Amino acid sequence: MKFAHMADAHLGAFSKNPVLKKLNIQAFEMAIDKCIAEEVDFIIIAGDLFHNPIPDMDTVKRGVEILKKAQNAGIRIYMVYGSHDFSAGSTSLLDVLNSADVFMKAVNYESVEIDDDTLLRLKPVRDETGVYIVGISGLSSAAEVEYFQYLDRAYLSELPSPKIFVFHTTISELKPSYIPDRFAVPKSSLPQGFDYYAGGHIHARIESSVGNAPLIYPGPLFGATYSDLERGYERGFYIVEDFKPKFVRIDVAEFERISVDANGKSAVSLREELMTLASKDYSGKVVMVKVSGELYSGKIADVDFHSIREKFKESALEVLLNTYQLKTRERKKINVTGGTKEDIEREVFKKISVYGEDFTHTLFRILSKPKPDDMKKRDYEDALWREVYDLLNKVMERENTKSNKNGENQEYDEVDDEKVKISEMKKAKKMQTLFDFMG
C-alpha cells in the first residue's frame, strides 16, 4: 500500500502576479505527475487545495484538469477542507467538486449523545486497499480547535487498523512562533492509535510522531504569500509506503533571495548598489530582494525602484522587491524670509529647533569650530563631544524640570523599578531625538 500526502497547494494564490500564480499551479501539477509515476494507490490532500472558497474559473479549470489526470490513472483522492477553501454558510468549490466525484471528502460526521454529552463522531471512509481514512477539516480562524475536545474518541479507537487521521490544524508542540496558542491543539488532542497522522495548515515541513506513528506536515508545494516565499525551506510532499514517509521535493523555479542593508547609505549609492545587483544573470530564477534600513540622505523615490525592477527583469523570471522596511529621514521644506544671511539663519533655527533656538545656535557654533593645526584629530573630536554633552545635559535638565512641573514625570519620586526604567527610556529617547537632529 502506497499513498501520497500533500497539503496547502493554495491554487489561485498570487492572483495579482501571473508568473507566481502559474508557478504555483505548476508545482501542484508536478506533484500529481510524480504520484502517477510512483503509482500510488491514493492521494490525501490535507486542506487548502485552493486559496479561496470560490476561486477564479481559470484556476478551477486547471485544478480540475490536474486532479482528473490522477483520477484517470486510477488514483483516488481524499480531501479535507482547509482554513482557506472552507466557506462558512455558503457552498465552497470543494463541495461542488466533491459532488462531481473529482475527489472524495474524507470528512463525515454526526453528533451523538453519550452519557448526556454531545460528542462529534467522525466516520471513516474506507479505501479499496482496506485503509480507513478519518478527517477533520480546518475552519477559518481555527474554529475547529474547539471541536477536538468533543471528539468521540472511544469510537475512533475501536476503528480497526490500518487507519489514517487527516487534519488541517496546528499542533501546539510543533507550532512556529507566529501562530497564536489559541489557534493550536496539543498533540494529546489527536485521537490515539492511528497509523499515520496527515497534517496540513502549517507552512513548513515538519516530521514528528504520535507514539510510533508518523505525524507529518508536508508544508506547501510552493507557497501562498510573499512572506512564505521569503522563507527558504524545501517544498514538496510525502510518498508513504507501508506507513514509512519519504519526502519528495518539488522545485518549479530556483529562488535567489537577496537582502540589502540601506543603513547609512544615500539614495544614490543604494540605487547604484541595486543596479549592479540587477545587472547579474538571473536566468530562470525568481529573485526576491528585501531592502531594509534607513537612508542617510535622499528620498526613497530617488532610488527609482521602477528602473531597478526593469533591470532585474531583463534576465530574471520574476523579481519581487520588498521595500516595506526601507525608511528615510523625514525632510520638510521650510519657507523663511529675512533681509540678511543672519536673519534667514535665525528664522530657520526658530522653525527647526525642538529645544529652542539658543540650543541650536550653540550646537552649530560648537560643531563648526575648526580643528587647530597643532591638535590631534582624536583630541579635537573628544573636545567637541565634551562640549556637546555639556550642552545636551543642560537641555535635558531644563526639559526634565519642565515636565516635572507639568506633572508628567511624577514616577521619578516613586521607588518603582519599572517606572524608573520608563523614565530612563523617555530620557534616552530625548537624547536620541537630539542625536538624530544633529546627524
Considering only 9, 13, 28, 48, the residue that binds Mn ion (CB under 5 A) is 48
CB 136 within 8 A of CB 153: no
Place of cell 507639568: 406
Part of the chain binding Mn ion (CB under 5 A), chosen from 45-53, 73-81, 92-100, 174-182 = 45-53
Closest CA to 175 of 189, 164, 188, 185: 185
CB 208 within 8 A of CB 190: no
Return the SS3 of 431. Answer: helix
| Residue 291, C-alpha cell as written in the block | 531592502
Part of the chain binding Mn ion (CB under 5 A), chosen from 1-9, 37-45, 272-280, 390-398 = 1-9
Of 85 and 195, nearer to Mn ion (C-beta) is 85
Closest CA to 78 of 102, 103, 47: 103
Part of the chain binding Mn ion (CB under 5 A), chosen from 4-12, 20-28, 117-125, 158-166 = 4-12
Please count the residues of this chain forming the interface with Mn ion, following the rule CB under 5 A.
Answer: 2
CB 35 within 8 A of CB 74: no
Place of cell 526593469: 310
Of 131 and 166, nearer to Mn ion (C-beta) is 166
Of 194 and 222, nearer to Mn ion (C-beta) is 222
Of 48 and 152, nearer to Mn ion (C-beta) is 48
* Least distance to Mn ion, CB of residue 10, Å: 6
* Least distance to Mn ion, CB of residue 294, Å: 34
Rounded to an integer, what distance in angstroms lies between the CA atom of residue 330 and that of residue 64? 52
Of 140 and 362, nearer to Mn ion (C-beta) is 140
Return the SS3 of 356. Answer: coil
* Least distance to Mn ion, CB of residue 9, Å: 9
Element at 157 (helix H, strand E): helix 153-158
* Least distance to Mn ion, CB of residue 22, Å: 19
Part of the chain binding Mn ion (CB under 5 A), chosen from 7-15, 123-131, 134-142, 405-413 = 7-15
Part of the chain binding Mn ion (CB under 5 A), chosen from 5-13, 99-107, 236-244, 269-277 = 5-13
* Least distance to Mn ion, CB of residue 183, Å: 13
Rounded to an integer, what distance in angstroms lies between the CA atom of residue 3 and that of residue 242? 9
Rounded to an integer, what distance in angstroms lies between the CA atom of residue 98 and that of residue 104? 6
* Least distance to Mn ion, CB of residue 68, Å: 23
N-terminal to C-terminal alpha carbon distance within the chain = 69
Nearest residue to Mn ion, by Cβ distance, number only = 48
Rounded to an integer, what distance in angstroms lies between the CA atom of residue 31 and that of residue 6? 9
Of 29 and 85, nearer to Mn ion (C-beta) is 85
Rounded to an integer, what distance in angstroms lies between the CA atom of residue 44 and that of residue 25? 18
| Neighbouring C-alpha atoms within 13 Å toward the C-beta of 171 | 22
Does residue 85 interact with Mn ion by CB under 5 A? Answer: no
Site residues (CB under 5 A) for Mn ion, limited to 250-279: none
| Residue 262, C-alpha cell as written in the block | 540601506
Among all residues, which ones are annotated catalytic? 84
Rounded to an integer, what distance in angstroms lies between the CA atom of residue 202 and that of residue 215? 13
CB 247 within 8 A of CB 238: yes
Residue 326: φ, ψ to 5°: -95, 130
Considering only 3, 4, 6, 8, the residue that binds Mn ion (CB under 5 A) is 8
* Least distance to Mn ion, CB of residue 23, Å: 17
Residues lying near Mn ion in the complex (CB under 5 A): 8, 48
